[in-house]
Amino acid sequence: MTLKNKLAVVTGAASGIGRATATALAAAGAKVIVADIAAEPGEKAASELRAAGHQAEYLGVDMTSSDSINAFAEALKARHGNADILVNAAGWGRTAPFWEGTPDFWDKVIALNFVGPMTLAKALLPAMIERKAGKIINVSSDAGRVGSLGETVYSGAKGGLIAFTKALAREVARYGINVNCVCPGPTDTPLMAAVPDKVKDALTKAIPMRRLGQPQEVADAIVFFSGPGSDFITGQVLSVSGGLTMVG
């Protein structure tokens, strides 16, 4: 599969699943926009991709701010043109009992995991509709499919992203745009590194394959949805979880 001459935007691309996805898309031939709020790691990720012979540029964005997202979309078009592929991989959460949460915390979780991806999709969709082509891949979570202990608001936001994916897929299919969703299970990312070892051990034991996922394994699914092999697939939700969640 080749993504030569395709422009791919990957949010959260400075680390974790986002960075693995940016690397995989670049290796497939796409020009990758490393979109992240963290400037130094983002610049480093883009620089390392260029050093490996790929096309990549860092462009800053705060996915909790609609003003920042819209400014990002304008800068993207001015500097690089219109996106062919959008991967909403930025995400964040924190494990704690629901009743200990605060409105500020809830707002951040919902903005980053749900409202931000919607806002960026809206900003980039008109050009895709005009060209009658485009791929949007939203990175949700198995927490949004089955719920996750201590991640109630996060689960709700990710569940909203799943439903948004399906509804948007119905709206834009007539324009030749595919919208799909990848749901990672427990994955070995910087966020997972902050989880206590006893919790990670419990998660590993609950996974039929008896290990955490790797960011590259999630990236492989995203690359599939980004390429021509998924042209007749839209509105779908693919779990990459080692069998942890098996739902119809």
Q: Which residues are catalytic?
A: 154
Burial of 51 (0-12, 13-18, 19+ CB in 10 A): exposed
Distance CA 47, CA 23 (A): 11
Write out the E strands in the chain: 7-11, 31-36, 56-60, 85-88, 134-139, 177-184, 237-240
Name the token pair of 123: 């900003």
Q: What is the largest CA-CA distance in the chain?
A: 51
Q: Which residues contact 140 (CB under 8 A, 6 or more apart)?
A: 158, 159, 161, 162, 165, 181, 182, 183, 237
